[in-house]
Amino acid sequence: HVGDFEHGFWGGVTAKYLRESGDKTRLGIDHWAKRGIAGRGVVLDVARYLESQGRALDCGERIDITPDDIEATRKAEGVEFQPGDVWLIHTGWVEWYEAQPQQVRQFISATQNLKTPGLQCSEAMAEYIFNAHPSAVCSDNPALEAWPPPNFMDPDGFLHHWIIGRFGMAIGEMWQLTG
């Protein structure tokens, strides 16, 4: 649902082409729906790790989870990344949201009022993800990355542009990662 400003969508497909051609298969995401995405699931409990370090996440605030945070969580959990892994990043946002009174949930349903912890939007984060070769990166927050992004309209201001548009990688948002 998000391409890259400079390169378009994965494989060089442009928004103009999609609008004018009506081609609904060129992006190839229909293949994900036919077969799904399979891979080894790797849970990275960033919320638990940061809390153990005295840096508990406030799920009602915008907090960047950095590449160093992901790497430290991975090491603390004894996880070795393998190509094709599906990363499942636990921030605690879903549990936080479910515990909020109706008026808070109603307030943050307007995007301009939403603030959440999530992956840092940076070239360093994009490079970290790319070099680890996951097949998908998923989280339990609404946008995968920290919200609001630094600058949605800047090519490097929204991590979605990197992950989806440049890497052609799947992301997942608002996953229930607790039992």
CB 157 within 8 Å of CB 121: yes
Residues of the chain with pLDDT under 70: 1-5, 7-8, 10, 24, 26, 28-29, 152, 154-156, 179
Q: What is the pTM of this model?
A: 0.87
Instruction: Break the chain down into helix, strand, coil percent, rounded to 5.
Output: 40, 15, 45
Instruction: Tell me the C-alpha distance between 32 and 56, whole Å.
Output: 35
The residue ranges of DSSP E strands in 129-169, in sequence order, are 136-139
For 13-58, the pLDDT digits (tens) are: 777 777 788 776 767 667 777 777 778 999 999 999 999 999 999 9
Name residues whose C-beta falls within 8 Å of residue 167's C-beta, 6 or more positions apart in sequence: 10, 126, 129, 130
Instruction: Tell me the C-alpha distance between 125 and 131, whole Å.
Output: 10
Cis amide leading into 148 (omega within 30): yes
